[in-house]
Amino acid sequence: MAGEPLAVLSAAEAARRIREGALTSEELVGACLERIREQEPKVQAWTFLDEEHALAQARAADEARREGHPVSALHGIPVGIKDIIDTGDMPTENGTVLHKGRTPRHDATVVASLRAAGAVIMGKTVTTECAYFTPGKTRNPVNPEHTPGGSSSGSAAAVAAGMVPLALGSQTNGSVIRPAAFCGAYGFKPTHGLISRHGILALSRTLDHVGVFARTLEDLALAAEELAGYDERDPDTRPRARIPFQAIAAEEPPIPPVIAFVKTPMWERAEEETKEAFAELVQALGDRVEEVELFPSAAEAWEWHKTIMEAEMAANLEREWQSGRGKLSKTLRELIERGREIRAVDYQRALSRIPPMQESFEELFTQRYDAILTPAAPGTAPKGLGSTGDPSFCTLWTLAGLPAVSLPLLQGSNGLPLGVQLVGRRHFDARLLRTARWLVARAAAAG
Amino acid sequence: MAGEPLAVLSAAEAARRIREGALTSEELVGACLERIREQEPKVQAWTFLDEEHALAQARAADEARREGHPVSALHGIPVGIKDIIDTGDMPTENGTVLHKGRTPRHDATVVASLRAAGAVIMGKTVTTECAYFTPGKTRNPVNPEHTPGGSSSGSAAAVAAGMVPLALGSQTNGSVIRPAAFCGAYGFKPTHGLISRHGILALSRTLDHVGVFARTLEDLALAAEELAGYDERDPDTRPRARIPFQAIAAEEPPIPPVIAFVKTPMWERAEEETKEAFAELVQALGDRVEEVELFPSAAEAWEWHKTIMEAEMAANLEREWQSGRGKLSKTLRELIERGREIRAVDYQRALSRIPPMQESFEELFTQRYDAILTPAAPGTAPKGLGSTGDPSFCTLWTLAGLPAVSLPLLQGSNGLPLGVQLVGRRHFDARLLRTARWLVARAAAAG
């Protein structure tokens, strides 16, 4: 272990050592807490953290192992939880003063799954207000004058800063992929419906996804394998066999993948530096990458996404709007007011565009391409903490429910990470991670 | 077979005879066609019927059997198809002049399932305009001065008149249970999502159900067993094991069922004769029936149903409204105009009330009751052909997606049938038919 601080071990490696008795959960959690004490004044990733409670869970995990109880995949591993995800033993305040002191009685399904896999629930990470645009206190760990992105600001920053190896976030537009890109973490937003959203602040049934942050692709696979699954309390999950995420993600692709480089109609928003970096990356990847123009209706996705998100958020935040709109930010209040005016026919029309769009993507993936390569954001994390940046490079994939991963492969001239986004076929999440692993290796070899 | 006209054989009995070689499909279909020639001038159940095409299917079924091909459950049995259900070999006009001459290229999933089970697709039965309120030409076979009910008018009338042993209908409010009750057929509307709606005129994803008409409970089970199943093209169906409908429906209940007699908030609409008939029926059934008052929020179901139906029909009939509203009836036009004004938040609020209501019903069924007994309609079929009658005794169960069956057990003083409705637990469709069989036997023994 010499030379490698415990806090920045990958989850997979730490779990291996704990399983083998070479490391205790208490040592690992202790090292993470020390890292937090050191970094938190700068980063401000946490909204709730009880050191003693975290250590108590770690000690219980160590005790269970010593007593010969079965040791699961995340045994003793600390995980940060975005503060819109319910925890039965910690407050969950959803980033709004309206929910100050809110203490749910039950764990969200994903938290229960993590506990069942042996994880230590480290604490609650900062979210923007109701996972929308108004920032929390978190700063970018690479440069605290820059935004960490949002809405999963604290989860992305905590993982990137080495405070925890894993954290949960959520994405309704670009709330996992963008902060992962801005902070330099790996971020994974799986296929819509793969991971249950029961017990999580509902903004938009159509668009809400649970996502994961880690510092390696292997760790994304490790977490996804525990989190994916049917939950009768989330009507968009489906009964299916357990997906061997880690095994598939670790495989070599049987034949080298073919990647579609897609600029999307948002390309004009990309910074010059981003355009140049992608041109170089595409060239470095050589004949395995082809530039592809999407079917024409893809250009309308941003409008449909806006209609659906506004209409569904207005419905889901009705109680907050009715009883406390004076305590909501202007941005959120205006979103809800727009959403309240949307007609049911227009909302349904927007919903009805999703399945044909998914079919068009299905064609693209089955006919030739293993994944789509596209920016995660227009550029590096913008300076200032008043905004969390532009999610528009994520909108299309979120609307279509396609799995996406943010890969910290590039860097801007300001030294901040520049995220690469890889998007896969629906329900082929593990294969997307396999393709991502191939891409990372190939980019490293070329670079 | 002496004394029993072939046309009024049950589907199960006819299938048995065909399987054993005692009857040919051509004989059966011929007898049904003869019955149609005799009854159709009075009943007007069909909107498309090609005798030669029906006979050709029957001959092909007989030929296949003679050649030793496997013989499925509905081999050679004629089935009527409501004219909002697509048939690749017959027009499907949805009861509106706007779709006159419409000839789909593919069978609806349910039609394909019937063909796979060996059925003869007899022809298309009359529907009201777009399965809403404006009547077609069909009359009640028991008394042609009375409505057959709607919207599945032709299917109910054809089965009750002995023209076919089985027919398909659909229900968005009371379109299966009500016409079955008015015509004196057995009608079955299964759990929402049990039978695929792919290839059927979509009015309301939330409320649309496929239903079946027959002259025996055994035949309802026979048809349901072939029709139920997962279809990836209907997002509300779910992968599940094949349900042995016939075996379960034929069982004796292990312990005598307990039935909840529920008047519903619509009770004041029931005719005096209906109230008296139900009082007698409840008394005759003795200690197995208890009058139960539903949870208070059930009273709001009619309002939620109205919001959902109007909003979804307005969206689904947008094209018809945009391009041909002058050719829609005033009733349908006004429905669409109301639906177009509904706000997305109100629509979503109505949708959000369904799961808690389903949980309340779940409690009722798991704590004590096997089924709910309630009228199928306020009374017998009203006189006149200008309206299809009042669906309000069906609305609650349709909204909750509960399985329901209409049993022709009672009769009004005018000689017309008075339907009894039995409602079951979601996803326990076969058990509902078993309970219905018990109830029919018990009522017969008591009566």
The tens digit of pLDDT for each residue in B144-166 reads 999 999 999 999 999 999 999 99
A1 belongs to a structural domain: no
Query: What is the pLDDT at residue A446?
Result: 80
- How do residues B21-55 score in pLDDT, each as one tens digit? 999 999 999 999 999 999 999 999 999 999 999 99
**H/E segment holding residue A280:** helix A272-285
A361 vs A365: CA distance, rounded Å: 6
Q: Which residue of A has its CA nearest to B336?
A: A345
Range of the domain at B400: 255-299+352-446
Give chain A positions within 8 Å (CB) of B311.
Answer: 344-345, 348
Q: Reply yes or no on whether the pLDDT at A1 is more than 60.
A: no
Kindly give the pairing relationship between strand B417-423 and strand A166-171. Answer: unpaired
Average pLDDT over residues A188-197: 98
Confidence band for A3, pLDDT divided at 50, 70 and 90: very low
Confidence band for B2, pLDDT divided at 50, 70 and 90: very low
Chains A–B, number of C-beta pairs less than 8 Å apart = 59
C-alpha dihedral, A13 to A15 to A20 to A25, nearest 10° = 120
B59 belongs to a structural domain: yes
Query: What is the pLDDT at residue A2?
Result: 42
Please give the ipTM for the structure prediction.
0.91
Q: Reply yes or no on whether the pLDDT at B330 is more than 60.
A: yes
Q: Output the six-digit token pair for B430.
A: 């076969």
Interface residues of chain B, partner chain A, Cβ below 8 Å = 238-239, 311-312, 314-315, 318, 339-349, 352
Kindly give the pairing relationship between strand A404-411 and strand A186-189. Answer: antiparallel
Q: Output the six-digit token pair for A439.
A: 């891409």
Q: Would you tell me how many other CB atoms lie within 10 Å of the CB of residue A46?
A: 22
Q: Which residue of A has its CA nearest to B313?
A: A345
Cβ separation of A344 and B349 shorter than 8 Å? Answer: no
Distance in Å, alpha carbon of A393 to nearest chain B alpha carbon = 27
Kindly give the pairing relationship between strand B120-125 and strand B46-48. Answer: antiparallel
A121 vs A123: CA distance, rounded Å: 6
Residue A27: phi and psi, rounded to 5, are -65, -45
Q: Which residue of A has its CA nearest to B350?
A: A315
> Which of B209, B226, B249 is at the close of a domain?
B249
Query: What is the pLDDT at residue B218?
Result: 98
Distance in Å, alpha carbon of B69 to nearest chain A alpha carbon = 35
Considering only the beta carbons, identify the residue of B318, B344, B352 that sits closest to A311.
B344
3 state SS of B55:
helix
Whether A363 and A318 map to the same domain: the answer is: no
- How do residues B179-221 score in pLDDT, each as one tens digit? 999 999 999 999 999 999 999 999 999 999 999 999 999 999 9
Can you state the angle between helices A301-316 and B344-352, rounded to 10 degrees? 60
Strand order in the sheet with A120-125: A46-49, A120-125, A78-82, A166-171, A209-214, A186-189, A404-411, A417-423, A371-375, A259-261, A289-291
Distance in Å, alpha carbon of B150 to nearest chain A alpha carbon = 26
**pLDDT above 90 covers what percent of chain B?**
96
- Tokens 């219905």 identify what position? B436
B316 belongs to a structural domain: no
Q: Reply yes or no on whether the pLDDT at B3 is more than 50.
A: no
Please count the structural domains in chain A: 3
Where are the extended beta strands (E) located within A180-241?
186-189, 209-214
Q: Output the six-digit token pair for A3.
A: 């030379």
Taking alpha carbons only, the member of A327, A288, A258, A299 closest to residue A396 is: A299
B322 vs B326: CA distance, rounded Å: 10
Q: What is the CATH number of the domain that holds A51?
A: 3.90.1300.10
Catalytic residues of A: 82, 151, 175
Whether A149 and A225 map to the same domain: the answer is: yes
B191 vs B228: CA distance, rounded Å: 10
Whether A404 contacts A429, CB under 8 Å? no
Whether B194 and B294 map to the same domain: the answer is: no
Query: What is the pLDDT at residue A240?
Result: 86
Cβ separation of B315 and A341 shorter than 8 Å? Answer: no
Q: Would you tell me how many other CB atoms lie within 10 Å of the CB of residue A408?
A: 21
Considering only the beta carbons, identify the residue of B238, B340, B345 that sits closest to A345.
B340
Average pLDDT over residues B290-298: 96
Query: What is the pLDDT at residue B200?
Result: 98
Distance in Å, alpha carbon of B236 to nearest chain A alpha carbon = 10
Whether B237 and B277 map to the same domain: the answer is: no
Q: Which residue of B has its CA nearest to A343?
A: B343
Whether B240 and B267 map to the same domain: the answer is: no
B87 vs B57: CA distance, rounded Å: 14
A198 belongs to a structural domain: yes
- How do residues B232-263 score in pLDDT, each as one tens digit? 999 999 888 999 999 999 999 999 999 999 99
Cβ separation of B344 and A349 shorter than 8 Å? Answer: no
Whether A40 and A53 map to the same domain: the answer is: yes
The residue type of A105 is R
Cβ separation of A346 and B344 shorter than 8 Å? Answer: yes
- Tokens 């689904």 identify what position? B316
Kindly give the pairing relationship between strand A78-82 and strand A166-171. Answer: parallel
Whether A309 and A263 map to the same domain: the answer is: no
Whether A262 contacts A227, CB under 8 Å? no
The residue type of B215 is R
The half-sphere exposure of A45 on its side-chain side, counting CA atoms within 13 A, is: 35
Average pLDDT over residues A297-322: 97
Average pLDDT of chain A is: 97
Q: Output the six-digit token pair for A280.
A: 């170089």
Q: Output the six-digit token pair for B182.
A: 């008015």
Give chain B positions within 8 Å (CB) of A362.
Answer: none
Considering only the beta carbons, identify the residue of A239, A339, A349 that sits closest to B345.
A339
A72 belongs to a structural domain: yes
Q: Output the six-digit token pair for A128.
A: 């923007």
Average pLDDT of chain B is: 97
If 0-12 CB within 10 Å is exposed, 13-18 middle and 19+ buried, where does residue B55 land?
Answer: middle
- How do residues A395-430 score in pLDDT, each as one tens digit? 999 999 999 999 999 999 999 999 999 999 999 999
Helices (H) and strands (E) in chain B, counts: 16, 11
Distance in Å, alpha carbon of A429 to nearest chain B alpha carbon = 19
**H/E segment holding residue B124:** strand B120-125
A148 vs B212: CA distance, rounded Å: 58
Distance in Å, alpha carbon of A344 to nearest chain B alpha carbon = 4
B341 belongs to a structural domain: no
Compute CA B350 distance to the chain's CA centroid, rounded to the nearest angstrom: 25
Among left, alpha and beta (phi > 0; psi -120 to 50; other), residue B264 is left
Cβ separation of A344 and B238 shorter than 8 Å? Answer: no
Whether A123 and A199 map to the same domain: the answer is: yes
Q: Would you tell me how many other CB atoms lie within 10 Å of the CB of residue A194?
A: 24
Q: Reply yes or no on whether the pLDDT at B447 is more than 80.
A: no
Whether B259 and B139 map to the same domain: the answer is: no
Whether B6 contacts B24, CB under 8 Å? no
Whether A143 and A284 map to the same domain: the answer is: no
Cβ separation of A349 and B314 shorter than 8 Å? Answer: no
Where are the extended beta strands (E) located within A236-298?
259-261, 289-291
Cβ separation of B345 and A314 shorter than 8 Å? Answer: yes
Catalytic residues of B: 82, 151, 175
Compute CA B37 distance to the chain's CA centroid, rounded to the nearest angstrom: 24
Where are the extended beta strands (E) located within B177-299?
186-189, 209-214, 259-261, 289-291
A46 belongs to a structural domain: yes
B428 vs A287: CA distance, rounded Å: 56
Whether A343 and A418 map to the same domain: the answer is: no
Taking alpha carbons only, the member of B186, B226, B142, B173 closest to residue B439 is: B186
CA A229 vs CA A113, A244, A264, B114, B329: distances in Å: 10, 12, 31, 34, 48
Give chain A positions within 8 Å (CB) of B345.
Answer: 311, 314-315, 318, 339-340, 342
Q: Reply yes or no on whether the pLDDT at A149 is more than 50.
A: yes
The residue type of A418 is L
B1 belongs to a structural domain: no
Cβ separation of B345 and A311 shorter than 8 Å? Answer: yes
Cβ separation of B311 and A344 shorter than 8 Å? Answer: yes
Confidence band for A219, pLDDT divided at 50, 70 and 90: very high
Give chain A positions within 8 Å (CB) of B344.
Answer: 311-312, 314-315, 339, 342-344, 346-347
Query: What is the pLDDT at residue B239?
Result: 87
> Which of A186, A220, A249 is at the close of a domain?
A249
Q: Which residues have CB under 8 Å from A165's CB, separation 6+? A: A8, A9, A10, A11, A14, A77, A78, A79, A159, A214, A215, A219
Determine the residue among B345, B346, B351, B426 to mutate to test chain A binding: the one whose Cβ has the most chain A Cβ atoms within 10 Å.
B345
> Which of B249, B284, B319 is at the close of a domain?
B249
Query: What is the pLDDT at residue A4?
Result: 67
Q: Which residue of B has its CA nearest to A313?
A: B345
Distance in Å, alpha carbon of A333 to nearest chain B alpha carbon = 15
- How do residues A98-146 score in pLDDT, each as one tens digit? 999 999 999 999 999 999 999 999 999 999 999 999 999 999 999 999 9
Whether A392 and A406 map to the same domain: the answer is: yes
Q: Reply yes or no on whether the pLDDT at A16 is more than 80.
A: yes
B190 vs B175: CA distance, rounded Å: 13
